[in-house]
């Protein structure tokens, strides 16, 4: 969540609102979730990664999900 907080804080308030809308949510929700250390759903994680251009990755938001497997980048056992 720290990466998302840092990413948002690097933007103007207008750009923060725009980013949240592109992710399919509101800035208020993102800020509340960050402060409460709330878990984002998988689709929102994906949207945040895409809309941030990879600056905030899914792994930063939900580290317990095996994203490498979903991405097809997991090493074979």
* Contact assessment for residue 61 and residue 40, using Cβ atoms and an 8 Å cutoff: yes
Domains delineated in the chain: 2-71 (1.10.260)
**CA-to-CA separations, 20 to 10, 14, 73, in angstroms, rounded:** 14, 10, 28
10-48 tens-digit pLDDT: 999 999 999 999 999 999 999 999 999 999 999 999 999
40-70 tens-digit pLDDT: 999 999 999 999 999 999 999 999 988 988 7
* Contact assessment for residue 17 and residue 27, using Cβ atoms and an 8 Å cutoff: yes
* Contact assessment for residue 59 and residue 3, using Cβ atoms and an 8 Å cutoff: no
């Amino acid at each position: 969540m720290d990466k998302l907080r840092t990413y948002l804080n690097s933007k103007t308030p207008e750009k923060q609102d725009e980013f949240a809308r592109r992710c399919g949510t509101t800035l208020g929700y993102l800020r509340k979730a960050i402060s409460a250390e709330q878990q984002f759903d998988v689709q929102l994680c994906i949207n945040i990664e895409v809309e941030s251009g990879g600056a905030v990755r899914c792994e930063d938001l939900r580290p317990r999900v095996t994203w490498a497997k979903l991405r097809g980048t997991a090493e074979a056992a």
